[in-house]
Amino acid sequence: MSYAKLECNKGFTEEAKMSLSDEQRAVGREGMIQTGGLEVSVIIRDVRPKPNAVDYLIEPTAGHGKTWIDGHQVKIVGWSE
């Protein structure tokens, strides 16, 4: 699974860091991840900050389960920053 560092995630790079309130804005938003040659729609359910990065707790929009994933692997739909 990988996305190149996306414009929507620029806050997670060393050049610009997001505040916790900005990170929390991602909760409840739809995102897309790539896995096994598929692009999967997910909902971000929680945020876990770590030094210079963030993890998202995601679940698929169809199907079951939740997992933590590195924030750089999630393309947030409609993110306008």
**1 lies in a domain?**
no
- Pairing of the two strands 30-35 and 38-50: antiparallel
Distance of CA 30 to the CA centre of its chain: 9
CATH code for the domain in which residue 41 is found: 2.30.30.140
CA distances from 55 to 25, 33, 69 (A): 13, 13, 5
pLDDT at position 21, please?
Answer: 65
**What's the structural domain count of the chain?**
1
pTM: 0.70
Q: Which domain holds residue 29?
A: 7-76
Query: Using CA atoms in the order 63, 64, 67, 71, what is the torsion angle rounded to 10 degrees?
Result: 30
pLDDT digits (tens, 9 = 90+) for 4-51: 333 344 444 433 455 556 677 889 999 999 999 999 999 999 999 888
